[in-house]
Structure 1
Amino acid sequence: MSDSSRAASSGYPEVMTAAERYDDADDESFPTRQVRLPVVPPGGFTVADLPKLAGVIDGRFELLDGDIVMMAPATHWHNQAINLLWFALRSVAPEGTIIAREAGVDLGSSVPIPDLVAVSVGEVVASDIAFSPTDVCLAVEVVSPSTKTKDRRFRPAQYADAGIECYWRVENEEDAMVVYSFELLPEGGVYAPTGVHRGRLIVDKPFPVDMQLPAVTWS
């Protein structure tokens, strides 16, 4: 099936093909590949488009103001940290709260995908791919070298503006997890820092947590 046939069957306009070439200081080109992206419709994409988009985009992506933003590959440390935190938080989350991995937050024309979220179980169904921010009480981002600016500056502003009660940023400090915790101010729209946690994570919100931060190892 041709690219145009695939695009037509997906319900989206014909895709655009793009290939970029980058040269380093020694004038040696990096390998390149073609990336197929649907043409952005008037008004942009929304969360309702995610199932179809997932079928035609080869790679992980988010929506930002109706446009597609490709996500960089994660490091091994990043993936290990997410796995360990997911298991650890599941063991301490109160009844009625689930810990979900890489689920979107529905902001309409923007759909960020935190590494972990804590969500009210009553609002979860098997087919969910994104949750309303009113159902999310915690968003967690594990910082990678390619996401430092996004996770330290842009994500907190985005999640606070959406009204998510708590935000945790997880940093790599000599291969150990360090958790920076934040809580939404009463007036909303802005987070206040509540702690820097090394070795042990103790917080009261969004639910009481007192646990050892698991070591990130390769075994």
Structure 2
Amino acid sequence: MALVMGAEGEDELDGEYRWPRPPVGGWTADDLDRLPGLPPHTELIYGSLVFRSPQTLFHSRMLYLLESALLALAPDHLEVIREMTVKLDRRNRPEPDVLVVPVDANTGPRQTWFKPEDVLLAVEVVSDDSVGRDREVKPLKYARAGVPHFWRVEESDGLPVAYVYELDPATHAYGPVGIFHKELKVDLPFPIEIDLTALDRR
């Protein structure tokens, strides 16, 4: 029986809703580009598909603030990308909320993922359903893949708190750089100053 797209984008089999059934051994990174009807921003973690919950206003505004600030500050040889996956290995293809990559990592308009060695900075803005992944799973995987800089941003009383990490190449683990409440100011991967209180500023 054929898998078809439903009227609202659901996968259907003979008119009934069906979740994609994983193959033996789980999905692979390449499957994300081939599976029909996946919700936007589907990730692959440990060979399993991960679907996002609806985005909150905090999450949306935080992404805009980070993208705008980093675009304004990044040197010309770097570009800032939102919500594109990174093919860490055959079983893991997470989607950081914000990425900083070299301009020459861009392979064209049909590109759907980056190699981990091209990622200079990965940023995750934590949602209610992503706390465990963003605090524990993804930092471990990004570090092992050699991503040199990682930020995790969480909401506290309506304002962002940024946790900044740098890779220790000897241990392939992240060491803390600092916790930033009102202003995120770092020298690496390039000089950055972001007013975190500007989250709701138009």
TM-score range, shorter chain: 0.7 to 0.9
Q: Is the counterpart of residue 6 in structure 1 residue 3 in structure 2?
A: yes
Quote how far apart the aligned CAs of 1:15 are.
7.2
Mapped partners of 1:87, 1:130: distance in 2 = 21
Aligned to 1:50: 32
Instruction: Map 1:152-191 to 2 at 5 A.
Output: 152-191=135-174
Instruction: Map 1:31-50 to 2 at 5 A.
Output: 36-50=18-32
Q: CA RMSD in A?
A: 2.4
Quote how far apart the aligned CAs of 1:197 are.
1.4
Equivalent position to 2:127, from 126, 134, 144: 144
Mapped partners of 1:160, 1:142: distance in 2 = 17
- Conserved 8 A contact 1:85-1:214: no
Q: Is the counterpart of residue 111 in structure 1 residue 93 in structure 2?
A: yes
Instruction: Map 1:178-217 to 2 at 5 A.
Output: 178-213=161-196, 215-217=198-200
Mapped partners of 1:67, 1:101: distance in 2 = 22
Quote how far apart the aligned CAs of 1:151 are.
1.3
1:91-123 CA distance string (max 9 Å, x none): 001111111111101022111111111111101
How many correspondences in the alignment? 194
Mapped partners of 2:194, 2:20: distance in 1 = 44
Give the TM-score normalised by structure 2.
Answer: 0.85
Q: Which deviates more, 98-107 or 58-67?
A: 58-67
1:164-212 CA distance string (max 9 Å, x none): 0000011112222221100001314210000111222211222221232
Mapped partners of 1:209, 1:16: distance in 2 = 50
Mapped partners of 2:27, 2:4: distance in 1 = 15
* SS across alignment from 1:216: helix
* SS across alignment from 1:146: helix
- Conserved 8 A contact 1:36-1:58: no
Q: What's the % identity of the aligned pairs?
A: 36
Report which of the two structures shows the higher radius of gyration computed on alpha carbons. Answer: 1
Runs of 4+ in 1 over 4 A off after TM superposition: 14-17
Amino acid aligned to 2:80: I
Quote how far apart the aligned CAs of 1:140 are.
0.3
